[in-house]
Structure 1
Amino acid sequence: MIVALTPNLSLDRTMILDRPLVLGQLHRVTGLTVAAGGKGVNLARAVRAFGGQVCVAGVVGGFNGQHFRALLDAEGLDSVLEDGDGETRECQALLSGGHPTEINEAGPLYQPEAVARVLSRLPEGQVVVCGSLASGTPPDAFLELLCGLDRPVVDSSGAGLGAAIEAGASLIKPNEHELAALTGSAALESARDLYRRSGVQVLLTRGERGAAFVGEEVWEVEAPQIDACNPVGSGDTLLGTFLWARQGGQPVPEALQLAVASGSANAMLGGPLRFRAQAARELVTQTRLLKPAWT
């Protein structure tokens, strides 16, 4: 079981525009998708696509929270959700050619009582703490949350990644910008140094170039060449696939190759709602596995 604990769940609205985005001008929407969102939900979709057991956990609120519950139920994803104050945030993705324009609300303030209720109901399994923190979350509160879990996986940024290192997380998943903010460098060697100092494994995502894993083993995988339709959620899909594969006993190199192929398939097919495991499996042969010479 993989438990996707998401501190700042959302309603995701993806809008296809009739022409390239121009600020200050009228645009018409030619296609609209509304879905339960947040990094943990995208991760859960990938795990389920491969036949794994997964559960989405977090706090929702208001009419948007009711909508979120209904959409998640309609997808058949298991959940542990608690009601809190305020409205679950909305995140907008505008597609008009090229990379999406994303507009994300901040979301409700941190609600410790509701979070405690969620934590008390989590099923047994690998907990993955996914995404941004709720507004106003005290750094010490997030650190305490992580310390109360059994070596969670953490996919966050900024102070969230720092807390993950301090708490002794089993693995973090930064992108290159997040790694640079954490260590001062986006180079793979900085991830290796971080692992040596902390014992926390690093799954470094590199966008269209692929990903790398740094732990007792060090591997890089170059992504296949694809025509990207919508890359939103590709990192979440990559992480979900990697964790599913590792839980199933796959060695790190093979798990990383499948994970990178899944991230590419997500971008190629148009996002997590359209992701298919078979498309990822078909792309695996187009990935390239590398072992850095300095290992």
Structure 2
Amino acid sequence: MEVFLQQTINGVALGATYAVFAVGFTLLFGVLNVLNLAQGSILMVGAFAGLELTLALHWPLLPSFLAAMAIAGGIALLSELIVFGPLARRGANRWMGLVASLALSRLLIAIVQEVFGTQVRRFPPTPWTGQVWQLGAVRVQSLQLAVIVAAVVLMAVLAWVLRRTRAGLAIRTMAFKPSVAQLVGVPVARLRLLTYFITGALAGAAGVQLGVLYDAVSPFMGENILLKGLSALILGGLGHVPGAAIGGLVLGLTEVYSVAYLQSSLRDAVAFGAIFLVLVCRPSGLFGTATRQRA
């Protein structure tokens, strides 16, 4: 029982990070119908931004975390201005957008490799990050609590923005039907930029969370997490933001349990196998709505 509780805490912390990334991924797909495969590299840029602010400028972790979100959000916003926006205005096929996002991903990785090298780097230790609480036979790290709390706060803020602000309501209208949004005077172009910024900021937040949780930041860290984000997006239901959060949490728990009770080498196989079984039984995902096409 103690092993189960310990691994549950570990899985919730990991799943919370996956959830933050997957929610941004899903929001972009649900609102703009864009599958940006550069999100993993934007996460990596956010992790490096937080690391450099902490190492070079000696910023505390929280300001570095917030600044990394802003930097990653700015990168995502630039991708809309320079890449995805021009493609959409010229009526390019959506597959061209996928190819462009892959090219952007490789470009970001190459730039970071040139500037920072290819070696794994680590966040500097601080007194509070090393704290551990012993609750019976269960060990709870302060970093795990910080990651979980940060994820909950980010989800709550995003939910408030989408449901309680004019911009959020306009984004939801645009997600429902862009043509209707234009008819009622919604500034679609500006909201596209805002949506990209939000999704980039969430990716940057997940990057710093992963960096401190695993104590490792590298130019290639986004490639694996990209698959996890795609899996959570599909598992929760395409375009379903709460479903993506739950999908990320389920994915994190599945990985941790497979390491604890099976073998570490089977971690990804078990996680993706479970997703495969869910989709075989429910192709629309856990919370998605099945659609039917009629001739």
TM-score scaled to structure 2, two decimals? 0.27
Structure (1 or 2) with the greater helix fraction: 2
Higher RCO by CA contacts (8 Å cutoff, separation 6 or greater): 2
Larger radius of gyration, structure 1 or 2? 2
TM-score where L is the length of structure 1: 0.27
Higher strand share: 1
